[in-house]
Structure 1
């Protein structure tokens, strides 16, 4: 702005020297002074207008843009073609609008997740509870033909009660793992031996489903600082997921590997199985709480549909240990990996 004023003064000085001078008489001298002042003022404001009209127009566009954003259109972006301070202001306004948009979208997704959580809990708890009430009503009214049917009603009621308990246990475990109060009870554990124990326990369940389990564990012990019960829960959940959705007859492969990732080393527990392929969208949502893929994938499974929390719980446990759970899927081949850092966290 200073250089525009200087330019105006210089132009006015040049013009005043060009104006012809009249004989110096008192009233003529006053006339010359007034004429010079008017000429200077006219040229000053003309130069000021010409030199600042773009800046003023851009200030007006900034004001209009702020009004649009303040009206709720957070996707609107103010053009920022200038490289000066006003351009920087426009960039800051756009950045502010983008952050507000992300924050509002995050809150919207959080609210939607809460509603889905309530809906999922209601649906998953209501189904077995309705069956339990129905069977108990039949038993109370003695609506069975013989002892065999009585035993069947009691057995179905008991199985539904176990399913209800498992759902509540999963919900409790997930809630506990995702709060800030979650704590690990770490011990020095041979991870290879822990996986061997888990694999031995799953053999009867796998055989019942027509599944064989193949292991590839290292010959030497692999001692790590971890919470053995939580890691057992995470591996159990991956095993149960594989048992539910494997083709039958089929094979589940359990392996343990170590590898260098950058400057650090990590252990990877891999649970692999073959099943029906899923799409990219389903693959991205597998670890969401209460998310379930098409129930037809689990057709024939003796384990039911589950709570939809198993993979979320496994990922939460891995992240508490400083690791993660990820899936590599290719045309129906599923490779779930629990990755844990070998260094103590």
Structure 2
């Protein structure tokens, strides 16, 4: 149909410009016109195909890649070989696939974390409970030889009960701190004085286990707006961690300093001790809930916990708008609590009617 229209057009055109007294265009001229048009069309098609074949091929690759991603292969990536619109489309598809992959990985880790939470809670609660039941069964069956053994069984059962209570308290505290409605009771506190009180209470425990305590505190007050109970809990957890894993005899160092940098003023609390080295992987996981780098590093005289102490300490610091970081090298542990001088972050407002002055 197209060729008929083209032929009619050229025949009509030829008739309109025909030489006078020539009734029609000779067949040879019509043939030449058709040949010229056919040649032009063939050259145009070949040129168009040559110029667009790479684009068409890339479009086909885009289509195949989208099918692969839709089929679940989120690791598929388009090569960055173009800088035009198609290249930008490929880059956007790569970014989309990467985000989807990260989201799925995040959900997988969240599910795995829930399972680890259940496993960790079950294990850490069952261990002291089993011991308590064993001692109580012996006491009920009068399976003790004398009064001294009776007292020892009662004492062991009591200690296991305290351990169980401590584990439950840690779990409750961690759950409360990581919930979205966690609140702080902010008040203006001299952090220097608070740290001095904590150090004085820590001294007898450290002395019993062959650990000496060295402090380096500023001579002037360092007023901070914070929740003193929670900050005390965070520092206590770090000190008990240092006590458990320090080499005996050893030294735990406590220091406090005000820092200015990055356009803001912060307070930095450092707790240092020397213990057995850990791997890089263990170091990266040290603040994970229920994670214990190496139970064999722990002193036999120190009661094991649920692996929540460092997680709780970091959660408290972050509620205040700060953080806790560890610098470890060859068994030297340097925990640093960084707190903003302005108090809690904007997202963490004091409770209504809280103890704020």
- Aligned-pair distance for 1:175? 0.6
Partners of 2:23 and 2:58 in 1: CA distance: 48
Trace 1:10-29 onto structure 2 (pairs within 5 A): 25-26=24-25, 28=27
Given the superposition, is the C-alpha separation of residues 51 and 151 from structure 1 closer, same or farther in structure 2, using an over 3 Å criterion? same
Query: For the residues of structure 1 that align with 2:221 and 2:255, how far apart are their CA atoms?
Result: 14
Q: Distance in 2 between matches of 1:71 and 1:87?
A: 22
Distance 1:314 1:24 in 2: 105
Q: SS of the counterpart of 1:189? A: strand
Give the structure 2 partner of residue 205 of structure 1.
205
Does structure 1 retain, via aligned residues, the 8 Å contact 2:177–2:312? yes
Which residue of 2 is the match for residue 4 of structure 1? none
Q: Which residue of structure 2 lines up, in the alignment, with residue 323 of structure 1?
A: 322
Give the aligned CA root-mean-square deviation in angstroms: 1.9
2:332 aligned with 1:333: yes
1:85-130 Cα shifts (integer Å, max 9, x gaps) = 1111111111111111111111111111111111111111110011
SS in 2 for 1:172: helix
Aligned to 1:290: 290
Q: Does 1:304 align with 2:303?
A: yes
1:253 is the counterpart of 2:253: yes
Residue 225 of structure 1: how far off its partner (Å):
0.5
Offset, 1:277: 1.4
Q: What residue number does 1:96 align with?
A: 96
Distance 1:132 1:24, change over 3 A: farther
Structure 1 gap segments, 5+ residues each: 1-22
How many Å separate the matches in 1 of 2:190 and 2:324? Answer: 20
Segments of 5+ residues of structure 2 without an aligned counterpart are 1-21, 345-357
In structure 1, distance between residues paired with 2:23 and 2:32:
9
**Alpha-carbon displacement from aligned partner over 1:304-328 (angstroms, at most 9, x marks no partner):** 1211000010001001111111111
Partner of 1:168: 168
Q: Secondary structure at the match of 1:322?
A: coil
Comparing 280-289 with 228-237, greater Cα deviation is found at: 280-289
CA distance in 2, matches of 1:87, 1:63: 14
| Displacement after TM superposition at 1:160 (Å) | 0.2
Q: What's the CA shift string for 1:58-93, capped at 9, x where partnerless?
A: 111111121222222211211231221111111111
- Kindly indicate whether the alpha-carbon contact (under 8 Å) linking 2:230 and 2:316 is maintained by their aligned counterparts in 1: yes
Task: Normalising by structure 2, report the TM-score.
Answer: 0.86
CA distance in 2, matches of 1:229, 1:204: 21
Aligned to 1:177: 177
Which residue in 1 is equivalent to 2:18?
Answer: none
| 1:72 paired residue number | 72
1:50 equivalent to 2:50? Answer yes
The SS at the match of 2:303 is coil
Displacement of 1:51 in angstroms is 2.2
Deviation at 1:26, TM superposition (A): 4.4
Name the SS for the 1:278 alignment partner: coil
The secondary structure found in structure 2 opposite 1:181 is coil
Superposed, 1:100-111 pairs within 5 Å as 100-111=100-111
Bigger drift between 212-221 and 179-188 goes to: 212-221
Deviation of residue 41 (structure 1)? 3.1
Distance apart, 1:181 and its partner CA: 0.6
Higher RCO (C-alpha under 8 Å, 6+ residues apart): 2
Q: Name the counterpart of 1:264.
A: 264
**Count of aligned pairs:** 324
TM-score by length of 1: 0.89
For the residues of structure 2 that align with 1:196 and 1:299, how far apart are their CA atoms?
A: 26
Residues 171-224 of structure 1: CA deviation (Å, up to 9, x unaligned) = 000010011110010011111111111111112211211112222111111111
Question: Aligned in 2, Cα 1:124/1:40: closer, same or farther, shift over 3 Å?
Answer: same
Residues 235-280 of structure 1 show CA distances to partners (whole Å, capped at 9, x for unaligned) of 0001110111111122111111111122111111111111111111
Equivalent residue of 1:248, what SS? coil
8 Å CA contact 2:321–2:343 kept in 1: the answer is no
Please report how far the alpha carbon of residue 300 of structure 1 lies from its aligned counterpart in structure 2 after TM superposition. Answer: 2.7
Residue in structure 2 matched with residue 6 of structure 1 by the alignment = none
CA–CA distance in structure 2, aligned partners of residues 154 and 33 of structure 1: 115
